[in-house]
Amino acid sequence: MAMNQPMPQPSEPLMKQDAVLEESRLRDVLRSLLRHRSAVIGGAIVLFFLLVALLADFIAPYDYAERSEDLLQPPSAEHWFGTDEMGRDIFSRVLYGSRISLRVGFFAIAGSIVIGSFLGLIAGFYGGWRDVVISRLFDILLAFPSILLAIAIVAMLGPGLNNALLAIAIINIPTFGRLMRSQVLSVKQEDFVLAARAMGMTNRRILFRHILPNSWTPIMVQGTLGFATAVIEAAALGFLGLGAQPPQPEWGTMLADARGFIQLAPWTMVFPGLAIMLTVLGFNLLGDGLRDVLDPRMKR
């Protein structure tokens, strides 16, 4: 028998069958998600803020940096959320601030997922010295409180929105890396992976065709929950003056500017704070719903 026979390729009917099964599974997930009350509420909140961020130019009645002589005016028909100490319309600034918060959350968590998942894949699949080095790197990053580490990174790089985004991405890498590593350690012992090895598949093909697709679900759930955490971390850095710089209308920066007027003009803090709370609530509810739908252990 020839020793170097070409590895058999899956037939076209089998490939079509796999595609149909995957499409059917996706439909089942979407139906289950739409029946999940918390997920629907969270998704509606997230969609609302996404639309606000996209349509802020058309919705906002004023430019976020436009000043007026109406200093610290309470909410009225002219200024729905009132004005701040410089006469700027708080409603317009909250609308434009959604762009900054969502952008920071998206790019920071996307970077964390890509880098953390890649490192977790390598550590879990190959093991050995690679696993030791990567795991110790994660342990070092996790040894520091996340917000303190973010403050230290921004302090070294300098205040600014992009540096805050980078800091938030770095501090969230270990979360996704350790989660992916644990998934890979579990999945690589499954029969279909052992069968792929027996068929002579390369490590790269096994990683990206078999292990990664079957390890992705917890990463999706954690990414949704991590988005909420990133919004809070961005607001915290902005509150400390290390994130977005004036006159950018970042919600944390707005809270920092308004803290001196909490008794005189409480609306200057209430509305940015509500925006942060609702955004975080929306992503948390959506993440909990995804976890309940995608994790078989959570199904009743």
Q: Are 235 and 97 in contact (CB under 8 A)?
A: no
pLDDT at residue 14, as a whole number: 41
pLDDT 10s digits, 33-62:
778 788 899 999 999 999 999 999 999 999
Total number of domains constituting the chain: 1
pLDDT at residue 96, as a whole number: 93
pLDDT at residue 25, as a whole number: 63
Residue numbers in the chain where pLDDT is lower than 50:
1-3, 6-12, 14-21, 300
> Is the residue at 212 inside a domain?
yes
> Is the residue at 101 inside a domain?
yes
pLDDT at residue 24, as a whole number: 64
Q: What is the CATH number of the domain that holds 116?
A: 1.10.3720.10
Q: Percent of the chain scored above 90 by pLDDT?
A: 39
pLDDT at residue 217, as a whole number: 82
pLDDT at residue 300, as a whole number: 45
| Element at 12 (helix H, strand E) | helix 12-35
pLDDT at residue 168, as a whole number: 94
Contacts of 262 (CB under 8 A, 6+ apart): 268, 269
pLDDT at residue 7, as a whole number: 47
> Is the residue at 17 inside a domain?
no
- Here the tokens at position 292 are 């309940």
Alpha carbon distance 145, 37 (integer Å): 34
Q: What is the DSSP string of 194-232?
A: HHHHHTT--HHHHIIIIITTTTHHHHHHHHHHHHHHHHH
> Is the residue at 97 inside a domain?
yes
> Is the residue at 45 inside a domain?
no
pLDDT at residue 17, as a whole number: 47
> Is the residue at 46 inside a domain?
no
Show the domain range for 280: 54-62+72-298
- Here the tokens at position 27 are 């439909």
> Is the residue at 33 inside a domain?
no
- Here the tokens at position 14 are 């089998």
pLDDT at residue 72, as a whole number: 87
pLDDT at residue 232, as a whole number: 92
Q: Are 230 and 172 in contact (CB under 8 A)?
A: yes
Alpha carbon distance 102, 276 (integer Å): 11
> Is the residue at 22 inside a domain?
no
Q: What is the DSSP string of 66-113?
A: ---S-TTPPS-SSSTT-B-TT--BHHHHHHHHHHHHHHHHHHHHHHHH
244 alpha-carbon distance from chain centroid: 18
